[in-house]
Amino acid sequence: MAPVVVRDLREHWPPASAEELEVFETDILSGFVLARASAGLTDGAIRGDVGHLELG
């Protein structure tokens, strides 16, 4: 396996705005809830998990 050059991509993208961070957070939380529901967890269990995440 040959060595490769790795670059830091952060220098090419500006920091995210507050709105972009809010949209990202909503998307991640929606995916979390969907995954938990797909795994067969009850609404109450999902609500509890989401509540813990929102407190953190």
The structural domains of the chain, with segments of one domain joined by +, span 17-55
- CA dist., res. 37 & res. 31, Å (int): 10
Q: Count the helix, strand and coil residues of the chain and give each as a percent rounded to the nearest 5.
A: 70, 0, 30
* Residue-wise pLDDT tens digits, 18-46: 999 999 999 999 999 999 999 999 999 99
- CA dist., res. 42 & res. 26, Å (int): 21
pLDDT of residue 50: 87
Angle CA 29–50–42, to nearest 5: 105
pLDDT of residue 56: 66
Q: pLDDT class for 52, splitting at 50, 70, 90?
A: confident
- CA dist., res. 42 & res. 49, Å (int): 11
**12/47: higher pLDDT:** 47
